[in-house]
């Protein structure tokens, strides 16, 4: 029968259908996976004052290639405490921000999931809408609020929390960075949490309360464990990009706010040291491989 053979054929790409797979496949191989090999290669080469500012590694025979490989960029990363401190500080900021996002995002997602079903699409829309407006704009908006002669100072002075000569000293500190990160990433945390909580079977909670379980205990015994996939997804979606964040620490953070994305940017655009910037990127990638792998596994399970 024609229909049976067609359905079978649809599960395995036939010659014509290969194009469907091959075009995006090759695009991603060429422009996403391929460049990582180049980063690796350049991180192993010497800096040069030229354009491009590095000495090529891949020239001549294989033996020549191996003798030219050098790990001095990586050695340099371990010698200068700035880099190690940047990595550690990025991981610390990303971890604290993710926890803050969970603390703020979870009650929001829970409240959305418990709202009347007619209201829910509007609430979801309200969470998504800020995400559509530019990241840069949303970070910029906080500068006007947080800077010493900004609106927060004005507000505190008006309501009498502060004297006329006092100013809010948050701008260009780690606190401003946390505010910026939590603000920018909140939709990414709320949406996976909401989709996990919304799917929950409410009869379980009713059963618990019928059997005399107090609401708070029911939450920890039933709601929270069932929402764990959402917690993991939301945390990873936030944690991984925050670790490499550049815009927020650059615009809201101070000179002592160390984040590896900023260090990489300075190394590349400021010092024009491409090999060192590549080595910084390689180490960052190695740090993030495990979280990215967990994220992919989880997404595949959901899909």
Partner 1 sequence: MKSSRFDATVLTLGFAFLYIPIIILVIYSFNASRLVTVWGGFSFQWYRTMWSNQGLMDAAWITARVGVLSATIGTVLGTLAALSLVRFSRFPGRMLFSGMIYAPLVMPEVITGLSLLLLFVAVGIDRGFWTVVIAHTTFTMCYVAIVVQSRLMTFDRSLEEAALDLGCPPVKTFFRITLPLIMPAVIAGWMLAFTLSLDDLVIASFTTGPGATTLPIKIYSQVRLGVTPEINAICTILIGLVTLGVIAASISTKRAELRRIRDEHVALRGVT
How many Å apart are CA 213 and CA 32, to the nearest integer?
A: 51
229 makes contact with partner 1 (CB under 8 A): no
Task: Tell me the site size for partner 1, rule CB under 8 A.
Answer: 96
Which residue(s) pair with 47 in the sheet? 54
Which residue among 6, 165, 286, 290 contacts partner 1 (CB under 8 A)?
Answer: 6
End-to-end C-alpha distance for the chain, whole angstroms: 31
- Subset of 246-275 contacting partner 1 (CB under 8 A): 246-247, 251, 261, 264-265, 268-269, 274
Q: Is 292 in the site for partner 1 (CB under 8 A)?
A: yes
* Residue (196 or 288) nearer to partner 1, CB: 288
**How many Cβ atoms sit within 10 Å of the Cβ of residue 87?**
20
Cα 70 to its chain centre, rounded Å, is 31
Q: How far is the C-alpha of 240 from the C-alpha of 238, rounded, in Å?
A: 6
- State the residue for tokens 């010698």: 79
Q: For Cα atoms 26, 12, 30, give the angle at the middle one, nearest 5 degrees.
A: 5
Q: Which CB, 229 or 291, lies closer to partner 1? A: 291
Q: Which residue among 99, 115, 161, 207 contacts partner 1 (CB under 8 A)?
A: 115
Q: In the complex with partner 1, which residue's Cβ is closer, 36 or 71?
A: 36
24 is an interface residue for partner 1 by CB under 8 A: yes
The distance of closest approach from Cβ of residue 65 to partner 1 in the complex, given in angstroms and rounded to an integer, is 15
| Residue whose CB is less far from partner 1, 162 or 285 | 285
Q: Where are the alpha helices (DSSP H) in the chain?
A: 2-11, 18-28, 34-43, 62-68, 72-79, 81-114, 120-132, 135-146, 151-158, 174-198, 202-210, 215-218, 224-226, 228-243, 247-252, 260-265, 274-302
Would you count residue 88 as binding partner 1 (CB under 8 A)?
no
User: Judged by CB, which is closer to partner 1: 5, or 203?
Assistant: 5
Measured from the CB atom, the residue of 2 and 255 that comes closer to partner 1 is 2
Nearest approach in angstroms of CB 100 to partner 1 is 12
Tokens of 164: 């006329």
Q: Are 272 and 257 in contact (CB under 8 A)?
A: no
Alpha-carbon distance of 283 to 291, in angstroms, equals 14
54: helix, strand or coil: strand
CB of 203 to partner 1, least distance (A): 17
Bridge partner list, 54: 47
- For partner 1, the binding residue among 16, 50, 159, 255 (CB under 8 A) is 16
Residue closer to partner 1, measured from CB, 95 or 145: 145
Interaction residues for partner 1, span 196-215 (CB under 8 A): 215
Residue 220 in contact with partner 1, rule: CB under 8 A? no
Spatial distance between the Cα atoms of 260 and 244, rounded to a whole number of angstroms? 6
165-184: which residues touch partner 1 (CB under 8 A)?
Answer: 183
Residue 64 beta carbon to partner 1: minimum distance, rounded to whole angstroms: 19
SS3 assignment, position 252? helix
What is the x/- site pattern for partner 1, positions 56-75, by CB under 8 A?
A: --------------------
* Identity of the residue, 108 or 200, whose beta carbon is nearer to partner 1 in the bound complex: 108
């Amino acid at each position: 029968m024609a229909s049976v053979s067609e359905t079978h054929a649809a599960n395995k790409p036939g010659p014509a259908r290969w194009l469907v797979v091959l075009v995006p496949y090759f695009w991603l191989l060429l422009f996403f996976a391929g460049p990582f090999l180049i980063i690796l290669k350049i991180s192993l080469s010497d800096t040069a004052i030229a354009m491009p500012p590095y000495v090529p590694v891949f020239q001549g025979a294989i033996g020549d290639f191996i003798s030219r490989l050098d790990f001095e960029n990586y050695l340099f990363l371990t010698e200068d405490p700035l880099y190690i401190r940047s990595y550690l500080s990025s991981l610390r900021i990303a971890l604290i921000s993710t926890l803050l996002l969970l603390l703020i995002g979870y009650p929001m997602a829970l409240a959305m999931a418990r709202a009347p079903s007619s209201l829910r699409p509007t609430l979801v829309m309200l969470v998504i809408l800020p995400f559509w407006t530019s990241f840069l704009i949303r970070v910029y908006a906080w500068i006007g609020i947080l800077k010493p002669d900004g609106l927060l100072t004005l507000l505190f002075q008006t309501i009498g929390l502060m004297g006329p000569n006092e100013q809010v000293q948050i701008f260009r500190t780690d606190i401003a960075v946390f505010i910026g990160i939590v603000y920018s990433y909140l939709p990414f945390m709320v949406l996976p949490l909401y989709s996990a909580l919304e799917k929950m079977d409410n009869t379980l909670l009713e059963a618990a309360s019928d059997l005399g379980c107090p609401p708070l205990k029911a939450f920890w015994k039933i709601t929270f464990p069932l929402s764990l996939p959402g917690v993991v997804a939301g945390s990873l979606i936030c944690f991984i990009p925050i670790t490499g964040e550049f815009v927020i620490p650059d615009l809201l953070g101070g000179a002592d706010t160390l984040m590896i994305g900023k260090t990489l940017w300075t190394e590349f655009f400021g010092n024009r040291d491409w090999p060192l910037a590549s080595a910084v990127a390689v180490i960052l990638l190695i740090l993030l491989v495990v979280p990215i792998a967990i994220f992919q596994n989880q997404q595949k399970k959901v899909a």
